[in-house]
Amino acid sequence: MKTIRIMFCMFAVCMLWSCGDDGKTPAYKNAKLSIEKRVDDLLGRMTLEEKVGQLCSRYDNFTPADVENKARLDSFFTLIPGMLQPDVMGLEENIAVRNGIQKYMLEHTRLGIPMLFVDEALHGPAKAEATSFPQAVAMGCTWNPELVEKVFTATAAELRSRGTHFVLSPVVDVMREPRWGRSEECYGEDPYMNGKMGAAAVRGLQGSADGTIAEGHVGATLKHFVGHGQKEGGRNKAPANISEHLLRDIHLEPFRIAIRESKPRGVMPSYNEVDGMPMHMNRHLLKDVLRDEFGFDGMMASDYTGVKELSAYHQVCDSLDEAALLAFDAGVEFDLPVGECFEHLVKLVGDGKVKEKDIDRVVRKILTLKFELGLFDNPFVTLAEARTIARDSTHWQLAREVAQQSIVLLKNNDNLLPLDTKKYRRIAVIGPNAADTRLGEYSGIPYYKVSVLDGLRKRFPECQFSYAEGCKITNTHSTDSRKTWFTVTTDDMLPTKEENMPRIAEAARVARGADAVVMVVGENEMVCREAFVPPFRGDNTTLDLISQQNELFEAVKQTGKPVIVCLMHGRPLSINVIAEKADAILDLWYAGQETGNAVADIIAGDVNPSGKLTVTYPKSVGMLPVWYNRKPTSGLFNYVNEDFGWIFPFGYGLSYTTFEYSNLQLSSKTMDKKGGIRLSCEVKNTGQVDGYEVVQFYIHDLQASITRPVKELKGFKKVFVKAGETANVVFDITSSTLEFWTANNKYEVEPGDFALMIGRSSEDICLSDTIRVER
């Protein structure tokens, strides 16, 4: 009954708001008129201060009581912003706060412009009572864009139902520096892969591929433009020392692909500088490249405090108003999170440094978006609908399916997996991440999460389980990944060896009493994360397992029991000892709320693992950079003390079955620059188990005017093949497949020979042929 009364009051507010004082409806409130006419009318009524407000954002920890307090809101909204991120976690509180703010906007502001609410959605809503899907790097390892699109369709539904309209996702940064704490936000190290996954995420979020936002969906933001994944020393916000050709080949390419294939409504500049020019003032890249060349016509919102940092960190100016001028002139249109720099645009217009018509152009964008979303007609949401969508079991089933397809089988000696529980009846589950599921950065708080220990107990009721923590990764982490992520780094954060050795001894004792061991090691959100500000460290000088986890593995392995290692982490690690000595290895990454169930599904053989790595696993941090698409001269010489190489290559992943590749066919051996060729091959499941195989298509330009990588991923297909059956896989080769940024400073296809390769991974090429591109 209370809900009915609330909704009736909101309806009344909408009806009263739609009429002016004289009873006549202003054009912008008339839902029968076109959006263009409504925007024209509203823009013509706005003062300069109201226009500038739409270019600013606000961020606050509102409570339901706050939004019922008009004095509190009056003091907060001295400037009426265009967008807001209320940091409220709980679903019911979230709905109350957002509806309360919308009610205030309609009743107590001059023009009644509704608020645009913004949130994060890296791998599901970063809110409480929301589905937590596998982390972005794990989703990359599915090699399944269609599945990723489903993830973000579900994410959009959950967010829109609770009043979110625009999200600061997806991330299409290319992971080229694994010391960087934000590596897990990337889909992988390859630009083509990241572009395809980013495009799928945008289509899921927006519900279309043409830039329109479908009902029940939200606007998407590609980030971080550009070079964010390859920063000096792997340190967050550090310079990106990247040449023009590397920028074009690697870091710009995912944006070019995603913009072409999905038309996101937003792009966010990155914190870093490129060639001495901070991205938030980089007119060449933001305007000449992103807008004029790539055709992006959406909204460009700053990264949080990115405009302010032009003065505070980059030291290219000495005031907030000058920072605002530099950023706005370069193409940044919205100042997040609190608008402290763009507030000065009013003064800058008055001083003649910014033209009001340029302000109008940007205001038109956000007003158009608000009209498209229907916010002027009804900006309110209902708790009942939001709760129904948040508890949609199909979303939880999807989270489990994504986890199943993202987990990578790295090793399986003597076919230990699937595990024969008649032989291995007593199972020890050991490790700092065994009894809790880490979710990674930008996570919400799901209704539940399943640990590896709990997942195994549930799946194998016939077995006897024992548990030992083994060691601690950090002393002060919480079981809540979000709280751990926001925990300040302290000198005593890491346990000492003396503190962990008794735990290791106990783990070895538990292992001796078992028939087999499942060990869950890796990282948590304190040792690898975004370094927000100096008290929150997140980047690393090592790729080794933190704390005494290697000692734990060695102690357990010495018991002589078979050890299945599960890695729970967010970046490639140098796991040399584990790779050599473990009997089986499952790379889970951060696999979301269904982690334990998905692991149990694979260990039981209910699911055939099909994940493939989207990153290269280096032998050591001293060998960096190590990536598959290296240049011809990068691997000519080995080190004095060790051969150059990797533990596991890009594209690698095992299965419970085997696949045979054959019958490579080309529709032609030659093509002109604007033509095309069709490549096909056959993949036969030669084992006894049905399964997915990821068929990977690479090219190599055999002689070019500038150096080209030894391999470039240009296509992939994830196909399901039943045991004994054969699938036909087709790739279309066009000019976009073969073009690159040439010495002529443009994208071109050069004539000459190209090697075409089909493989199980970047290092396991099964079929190859050569084509010639004619002049």
Helix (H) or strand (E) holding 685: strand 677-685
- Please give the structure tokens belonging to residue 723: 């045991």
| DSSP secondary structure string for all residues of 374-440 | TTTT-----HHHHHHHHT-HHHHHHHHHHHHHH-EEEEEGGG-PSP-TTT--EEEEESTTSSS----
Mean per-residue pLDDT, 255-280: 98
576 and 474 in a common domain: yes
d(CA 590, CA 141): 11
Is 327 within a domain?
Answer: no
pLDDT greater than 80 at residue 3 = no
Per-residue pLDDT reduced to its tens digit, 379-403: 999 999 999 999 999 999 999 999 9
Is 159 within a domain?
Answer: no
Query: Among the three residues 571, 591, 608, which one is the final residue of a domain in this structure?
Result: 608
Round the average pLDDT of the chain to a whole number and report it: 96
CA distances to 399, 433, 470, 500 from 473, in Å: 26, 9, 10, 9
517 and 437 in a common domain: yes
Kindly indicate the confidence band of residue 16, based on its pLDDT and cuts at 50, 70 and 90: very low
CATH code for the domain of 585: 3.40.50.1700
Kindly indicate the confidence band of residue 4, based on its pLDDT and cuts at 50, 70 and 90: very low
d(CA 94, CA 39): 29
d(CA 512, CA 442): 39
The neighbouring-strand residues paired with 171 are: 223
Mean per-residue pLDDT, 291-299: 98
Task: Give every CB contact of residue 378 below 8 A, 6+ residues apart in sequence.
Answer: 14
Kindly indicate the confidence band of residue 6, based on its pLDDT and cuts at 50, 70 and 90: very low
Q: Pairing state of beta strands 408-412 and 584-587?
A: antiparallel
CATH code for the domain of 712: 2.60.40.10
| DSSP secondary structure string for all residues of 523-539 | --TTTSS---STTS---
Mean per-residue pLDDT, 1-13: 47
Name the DSSP class of 445.
Answer: B
Mean per-residue pLDDT, 479-499: 88
pLDDT greater than 80 at residue 214 = yes
Mean per-residue pLDDT, 343-349: 98
Q: Pairing state of beta strands 726-733 and 677-685?
A: antiparallel
Kindly indicate the confidence band of residue 533, based on its pLDDT and cuts at 50, 70 and 90: confident
CA distances to 220, 274, 322 from 344, in Å: 27, 26, 9
- pLDDT score, position 492: 86
768 and 699 in a common domain: yes
Mean per-residue pLDDT, 486-493: 87
Is 698 within a domain?
Answer: yes
CA distances to 4, 485, 596, 605, 614 from 417, in Å: 55, 34, 16, 7, 23
Residue 773 phi/psi, 5-degree rounding, is -95, 120
Kindly indicate the confidence band of residue 23, based on its pLDDT and cuts at 50, 70 and 90: low
pLDDT greater than 90 at residue 775 = no
Domain range for 457 is 392-608
Mean per-residue pLDDT, 248-265: 99
d(CA 521, CA 538): 18
Reply yes or no: is the peptide bond before residue 170 cis, omega within 30 of 0. yes
Per-residue pLDDT reduced to its tens digit, 159-178: 999 999 999 999 999 999 99
682 and 574 in a common domain: no
| DSSP secondary structure string for all residues of 167-183 | E---B------TTSTTG
675 and 585 in a common domain: no
Mean per-residue pLDDT, 1-30: 58
Residue 736 phi/psi, 5-degree rounding, is -65, -25
Is 730 within a domain?
Answer: yes
Q: What is the dihedral of CA 16, 19, 22, 25, to 10 degrees?
A: -170
Kindly indicate the confidence band of residue 10, based on its pLDDT and cuts at 50, 70 and 90: low
pLDDT greater than 50 at residue 294 = yes
- pLDDT score, position 2: 41
pLDDT greater than 50 at residue 17 = no
Kindly indicate the confidence band of residue 551, based on its pLDDT and cuts at 50, 70 and 90: very high
Helix (H) or strand (E) holding 721: strand 712-721
Query: Is 377 tagged catalytic?
Result: no
| Catalytic residue, candidates 303, 539, 601, 701 | 303
Choose among 647, 747, 759, 677: nearest CA to 712. Answer: 759
pLDDT greater than 70 at residue 497 = yes
Kindly indicate the confidence band of residue 1, based on its pLDDT and cuts at 50, 70 and 90: very low
The number of domains in the chain is 2
597 and 664 in a common domain: no
d(CA 607, CA 586): 13
- Please give the structure tokens belonging to residue 574: 């140098």
Is 256 within a domain?
Answer: no
Is 734 within a domain?
Answer: yes
pLDDT greater than 90 at residue 24 = no
Helix (H) or strand (E) holding 64: helix 64-67
pLDDT greater than 50 at residue 504 = yes
723 and 598 in a common domain: no
Is 201 within a domain?
Answer: no
466 and 551 in a common domain: yes
Beta strands in 93-234 (DSSP E): 116-119, 166-167, 221-225
603 and 504 in a common domain: yes
pLDDT greater than 90 at residue 708 = yes
Task: Give every CB contact of residue 1 below 8 A, 6+ residues apart in sequence.
Answer: none
Sheet strands side by side (includes 116-119): 57-60, 83-86, 116-119, 166-167
- pLDDT score, position 257: 99
- Please give the structure tokens belonging to residue 654: 């095992």
Is 313 within a domain?
Answer: no
710 and 600 in a common domain: no
497 and 402 in a common domain: yes
557 and 425 in a common domain: yes
d(CA 502, CA 187): 38
Q: Which of 64-73, 107-116, 141-150, 487-496 has the lowest mean pLDDT?
A: 487-496
In a 3-state reduction of DSSP, which class is residue 80? Answer: coil
d(CA 458, CA 392): 22
Per-residue pLDDT reduced to its tens digit, 604-613: 999 999 999 9
